[in-house]
Structure 1
Amino acid sequence: MKTNYKLELVKKNVVQLVSESELYNKLEQSDITIKFGIDPTNSDLHLGHLVPIKRLKTFQDLDYKVTLFIGDFTARLGDPSGTSKLRRKLSPEIVQQNMSSYQEWIFKILNPDKTRVVYNSKWLKNTDLESLIDLFSYENINTLIKRKGVHQRLEEGKPVSMLEFIYPFLQAYDSVKLKVDIEIGGEDQYFNFLFTRAIQQKYGQKPEVIMTLPLLKGSDGNKMSSSSNNIIPLNQKPDNMFGQIMSINDEIMFDYLMLLSTLESEQITEWEKKVRLKEVNPMNIKMILAKDIVSQIFGNEKAEYAEEEFSNVHRNRKMPLEMPEVTIEKAVEISDMQEALIYFQFTASKRQAKYLIRESAVRLNGQTINDPFQKYSPKDGDVINVGKKTFKKIIIK
């Protein structure tokens, strides 16, 4: 396969590339170290993590091996890249708990046989003070203060931990230990990667090629991040993920298509044009997007099931194929629908129950309920739903 063709594939959607000529030269070699690092600061991987992981998959498809780098040691410090907040220090126990499921989800995309998994605690936990002094002597504090998040907090008189100045040194040292040729990450890692290149050269190594990718936006339009509570987690049921993808704003739908889908760029561009001209309903394209992403993670069969569930509930106003069941004794007495919502834990207060019913958000066996005081006696197989997503089936012993 020609190197120019490989180059076009791997640099698709790249924000910062340092440099294209260096990348070309690396791609002409067969044995190179391609690194993507992730710090297990949270237990949930999300769709934002898939952007660089899918780029690793592109390299694997071109017959390169990749290195999945788990920063189990540096996760305890906290990377301030792209944030204006002080990161909390994590215990080794929390880090271990967070990363327990990482590989399970990542290997739904990557080929394990072409992936080397490395943990930086292997060398950092035993690094001696003399080695650290040598490392810290290679750069000065002036460079680190220029980081956006750090500089902003210093200007505002907010605290900045010494650990945050240490972090980029240790991240660079990881690349030195691995002799990294190419590093992939989000665009918020650009400063760290430039810093890494400088440190590698101080150790007599060739600097790594920098490849940064766009940061996926979450439900609020900002960077998808667990700390911002705007993520679409990987660790959930396929139909839930399908529904969450369907709920993203139309404005960011095409970012998801470009960064996460398996669809051709030309097709996506054509759809974007047609949506802008109101020739195509964006909901139809979002259905294709949701099915494509869910299929990559869970397989075609579960993606088709998730699509059917979504269509049943949201488009055809049918009941879902599966729903939670609530088992009760035959003798249980419930007087009205208001009381039923509280008893079956749709809500905790009479006030909220009344509001939901009067807003026509409650249905019993598919029929809208408008009166909070409508008489109700539970029957086996009854289905109550609040809104389009919350269904419960009543089972009587």
Structure 2
Amino acid sequence: MSSGFPPIDEQMEVLLRGAVDVVEEDALRQRLAQSRAEGRPLLIKTGFDPTAPDLHLGHAVLLRKMGHFQQLGHRVVFLVGDFTAMIGDPTGKKATRPQLKREQVLANAETYQEQAWKVLDRELTEIQHNSEWLGALGAEGLVRLAGSYTLARMMEREDFRDRFEKHEPISIHELLYPLTQGYDSVVMEADVELGGHDQLLNLLVGRDLMRARGMEPQIALTVPLLVGTDGTQKMSKSLGNAIAFEDSPREMFGRTMSIPDDLMWDWRLLLTDMDETEIERQKADAERGRASPRDLKADLAHDLVRRFHGPAAADEARTEFDRMFRSGGVPDEIETRVVPSGQPLFTLIADTGLTASRAEARRLIQQGAVSLDGEKIGDPYFTLPDGVNVLLKVGKRRFLQVVAPAANAAD
């Protein structure tokens, strides 16, 4: 009964594309072989804590890997961490995260799922909520779960260790997060758990808990943390370097065009289906001057908009970008600057060095020489709202990609 699944080597090639950690690769190959021989799909678990209402391209990397398993015929579970979200994942955090109310978590979860269907096949995706079993644990069950792991092992985590050494607070409930996530795997009997690279230690706790109960430990497979539009830090709404699934086609296209040229190859690998050989060929052509990085980046932007908004919207966004920006002589590389929202435009222009003085900035605005994403702004006191990412043009040759982060945004 192996005809329902592709050959093992073919599956491994698809699943290892863009992967960072596979614990353990040989075990994954063996599990795939057993699945193929028995005609039984593997159970793939991926947890999402809905701490914010919107998904961005960083989430798409993980969703795409889930999609790879779906395409190969495996059983993919989108696990809504409605219980764990109320704890708050401490991974990489320098301080205790605020606890969310259940109503807020459930509202976020609804929008998460609707946006996820832009990447996943709705008909092939199972939705589960970990509150179903974690909520039923009760005090006794939670104490027993806590007793199955040592504090010494938990303190091996870099984030906890750093905070402890700096005498910064670590709440007891934070120590429970990896345990509850691991317990999800026990209950679900997961074959594979997917997560971002920063989640590896949490995924390994799941392996430990399964092994302690005499179960075959899950395979842990992680994907990279997508670098944001600034080209340096991981994509995060709180850093103002994210592109959301719900951004308009025009915004998505323009923000993709703002990324550094050398970042587009990772985005190609992680966010599109382009063959890796073709990616390397395009990269070599760009480095040797045989292809325009700007044109290749526009192709990437078009592909992303098509994925999230459809081909017609992608064509329109590209046409609009060409009309509005290329005719205006926008340079290939544009600096990105994060600025506070609520600042008057004339002070922002002067403070970022686009003019020599605030008086000059005010004069240029009043003369119609200042635009945001191609739209002229005539009010010197115009302020940027929270969460915008726009191209600021001053005069004919001064450009700046301006980001005003969303207030209280989560990753």
**TM bucket, shorter chain:** 0.7 to 0.9
2: distance between equivalents of 1:59 and 1:127? Answer: 31
1: distance between equivalents of 2:282 and 2:145? Answer: 51
Point out where structure 1 has 5 or more consecutive residues left out of the alignment. 319-345, 373-384, 391-397
Match of 1:159 among 163, 169, 173: 169
Q: Secondary structure at the match of 2:325?
A: helix
Point out where structure 2 has 5 or more consecutive residues left out of the alignment. 1-5, 330-343, 348-357, 381-391, 402-411
Q: TM-score, normalised by structure 2?
A: 0.79
Q: How much does 1:129 deviate?
A: 2.0
2:280 paired residue number: 269
Q: Aligned partner of 1:156: which letter?
A: K
Q: Aligned pair 1:286/2:297, yes or no?
A: yes
Q: Secondary structure at the match of 2:262?
A: helix
Q: Deviation per CA, 1:146-178, whole angstroms, max 9, x where unpaired?
A: 211111111112111112101000000111111
Q: Secondary structure at the match of 2:198?
A: helix
Equivalent residue runs for 1:117-128 within 5 Å? 117-128=127-138
2:125 paired residue number: 115
Q: Secondary structure at the match of 1:184?
A: strand
Equivalent pair of 2:22/2:222 in contact (CA under 8 Å)? yes
Identity %: 32
1:131 paired residue number: 141
1:360 paired residue number: 369
Count of matched residue pairs: 349
Q: How much does 1:83 deviate?
A: 2.8
Q: Deviation per CA, 1:255-311, whole angstroms, max 9, x where unpaired?
A: 111110121111111122222233322111110111111111222111111111111
Equivalent pair of 2:82/2:129 in contact (CA under 8 Å)? yes
1: distance between equivalents of 2:163 and 2:364? Answer: 44
2: distance between equivalents of 1:80 and 1:195? Answer: 14
Q: How much does 1:120 deviate?
A: 0.8
Change (3 A) 1:367 1:164: closer
Q: How much does 1:358 deviate?
A: 6.7
1:252 paired residue number: 263
Change (3 A) 1:244 1:367: closer
1: distance between equivalents of 2:170 and 2:376? Answer: 57
Match of 1:45 among 55, 68, 71: 55
Q: Deviation per CA, 1:184-227, whole angstroms, max 9, x where unpaired?
A: 11100111111110011112211000111111011231111233
Equivalent pair of 2:46/2:78 in contact (CA under 8 Å)? yes
Equivalent pair of 1:78/1:164 in contact (CA under 8 Å)? yes
Change (3 A) 1:125 1:312: same
Equivalent residue runs for 1:38-117 within 5 Å? 38-117=48-127
Higher Cα Rg, which structure: 1
Q: Aligned pair 1:17/2:22, yes or no?
A: yes
Q: How much does 1:50 deviate?
A: 0.5
Match of 1:295 among 293, 306, 327: 306
Q: Secondary structure at the match of 1:138?
A: coil
Equivalent pair of 2:346/2:365 in contact (CA under 8 Å)? no
Equivalent pair of 1:42/1:226 in contact (CA under 8 Å)? no
Q: Secondary structure at the match of 1:216?
A: coil
1: distance between equivalents of 2:293 and 2:123? Answer: 39
Q: Aligned partner of 1:226: which letter?
A: K
Q: Secondary structure at the match of 2:194?
A: strand
Q: How much does 1:348 deviate?
A: 8.4
Change (3 A) 1:283 1:348: closer
2: distance between equivalents of 1:367 and 1:136? Answer: 59
Alignment root-mean-square deviation, CA: 2.8
Change (3 A) 1:159 1:359: farther
Q: TM-score, normalised by structure 1?
A: 0.81
Q: Aligned pair 1:36/2:46, yes or no?
A: yes
1: distance between equivalents of 2:363 and 2:306? Answer: 40
2: distance between equivalents of 1:279 and 1:8? Answer: 30
Equivalent pair of 2:253/2:305 in contact (CA under 8 Å)? yes
2: distance between equivalents of 1:250 and 1:84? Answer: 31
Q: Secondary structure at the match of 1:222?
A: coil
Equivalent pair of 2:229/2:256 in contact (CA under 8 Å)? no
Between 221-230 and 41-50, report the one with greater CA deviation: 221-230
Q: Secondary structure at the match of 2:206?
A: helix
Q: How much does 1:367 deviate?
A: 10
Equivalent pair of 1:57/1:109 in contact (CA under 8 Å)? yes
Change (3 A) 1:20 1:386: closer
1: distance between equivalents of 2:91 and 2:64? Answer: 22
Q: Secondary structure at the match of 1:36?
A: strand
Q: Aligned pair 1:209/2:214, yes or no?
A: no
Q: Secondary structure at the match of 2:127?
A: strand
2: distance between equivalents of 1:6 and 1:109? Answer: 19
1: distance between equivalents of 2:137 and 2:203? Answer: 22
Equivalent pair of 1:44/1:226 in contact (CA under 8 Å)? no
Match of 1:170 among 180, 187, 210: 180
Q: Aligned partner of 1:123: which letter?
A: W
1: distance between equivalents of 2:241 and 2:168? Answer: 25
2: distance between equivalents of 1:229 and 1:119? Answer: 30
2: distance between equivalents of 1:164 and 1:367? Answer: 49
Q: Aligned partner of 2:289: which letter?
A: K
Change (3 A) 1:32 1:386: same
Q: Secondary structure at the match of 1:236?
A: coil
Q: Aligned partner of 2:253: which letter?
A: F
Equivalent pair of 1:232/1:241 in contact (CA under 8 Å)? yes
